A and B are shown apart, each in its own frame.
Chain A
Amino acid sequence: MQVYLPIAEMTVNALLILGMGGLVGFLSGMFGVGGGFLMTPLLIFIGVPPAVAVGTQANQLVAASVSGVMAHWRRGNVDVKLGSVMLAGSIVGTVIGIWLFNLLQRLGQIDLVIQLSYVIFLGLISSLMLTESVRAMVRRRRGRSAREKGPQRAWQQALPFKMRFEKSRLYISVLVPAAIGALGGLLVAIMGIGGGFFLVPAMIYLLGMPVSMVAGTSLYQIIFTTAVATLLHAYQNQTVDVFLAILLLAGGVIGAQFGTRSAGVLRGEQARALLAVLVLGVCLKMAVDLLTPPADVYSIEMLARNAAVGESP
Chain B
Amino acid sequence: MRPGAWLRIVLLAGMLSAGAGRGAGAQALVADLSEHLIAISTAFTGTEVVLFGSIEPPGDVVVVVRGPPDAVVVRRKAPTAGIWINEASMTFADVPSFYGVASNRPVREFASEAALERHNIGLDSLRLDAVAPEQYNPEQIAAFRAGLIRNMQEQGVYGADIGRVAFLGDRLFRTTLSFPANVPTGQFIVSVLLFRNGEVVAAQTTPLFVSKIGLGAEVFTFAVRHGAAYGAIAIVLAVASGWLASVIFRRG
Contacts and interface: CB of A to CB of B under 8 A. Distances in A.
Interface of A: 2-7, 9-11, 59-60, 62-68, 70-71, 74, 108-109, 111-112, 116, 223, 227, 230-236, 238, 240, 242-243, 245-246, 249-250, 253-254, 256-257, 290-294, 296-306, 308-313
Contacts of B76: 297-298
Interface stretch (B48-56, B107-115, B218-226): B218-226
Contacts of A313: 36-37, 207, 209, 211
Interface of B: 36-37, 40-46, 68, 70-79, 82-86, 89, 91, 97, 143-144, 146-148, 150-152, 154, 181-182, 184-187, 207, 209, 211-212, 216-217, 219-221, 223-225, 227-228, 230-235, 237-239, 241-247, 249-250
B228 A235 contact: yes
Contacts of B143: 298
A9 B182 contact: yes
Q: A-side binding surface: helix, strand, loop or mixed?
A: helix
Nearest to A227: B235
Contacts, number: 221
Contacts of B186: 308, 311
B182 to A, nearest CB: 5
- Among B71, B78, B209, the most chain A Cβ lie within 10 Å of the Cβ of B71
Contacts of A249: 238, 241-242
B238 A62 contact: yes
A312 B209 contact: yes
16 contacts: A4-B45, A62-B235, A65-B242, A230-B231, A230-B234, A242-B234, A243-B216, A245-B238, A249-B242, A254-B245, A257-B249, A290-B83, A298-B151, A299-B86, A303-B72, A305-B184
Contacts of A292: 84
Nearest to B223: A238
B82 to A, nearest CB: 6
Pick the 5 closest A-B CB pairs, nearest first: A298-B147, A234-B231, A66-B242, A253-B245, A70-B246
Contact of B86 (A71, A112, A232): A112
Contact of A243 (B75, B184, B219): B219
Given A296-B150, A296-B154, A67 B242 contact: yes
A243 B154 CA distance: 25
A157 B154 CA distance: 58
Nearest to B150: A296
Contacts of B42: 3-4, 6, 243
B216 A234 contact: no
B241 A63 contact: yes
B220 A59 contact: no
B213 to A, nearest CB: 9
Nearest to A303: B71
Contacts of A231: 228, 231-232, 235
Given A6-B212, A64-B242, A257-B249, A235 B231 contact: yes
A63 B223 contact: no
Given A59-B238, A243-B42, A243-B219, 4 more contacts: A4-B44, A6-B220, A9-B184, A71-B249
A38 B246 CA distance: 23
A299 B74 contact: yes
Nearest to B215: A6
A16 to B, nearest CB: 14
- Among A299, A300, A306, the most chain B Cβ lie within 10 Å of the Cβ of A300
A257 B246 contact: yes
Nearest to B235: A227
A78 to B, nearest CB: 13
- Among B41, B73, B233, the most chain A Cβ lie within 10 Å of the Cβ of B73
A299 B227 contact: no
Contact of B151 (A5, A71, A296, A311): A296
Contacts of A9: 182, 184-185
Contact of B182 (A11, A236, A245): A11
Nearest to A299: B75
B230 to A, nearest CB: 5
A299 to B, nearest CB: 5
B231 A6 contact: no
B102 to A, nearest CB: 23
Contacts of A74: 250
A292 B146 CA distance: 22
Contacts of B144: 298
A291 B182 contact: no
Contacts of A302: 70-72, 97
A299 B86 CA distance: 9
A240 B223 contact: yes
- Among A7, A9, A250, the most chain B Cβ lie within 10 Å of the Cβ of A9
A10 B89 CA distance: 26
B252 to A, nearest CB: 9
Nearest to B186: A308
- Among B74, B241, B247, the most chain A Cβ lie within 10 Å of the Cβ of B241
Given A111-B86, A112-B85, A293-B84, A240 B231 contact: yes
A106 B228 CA distance: 23
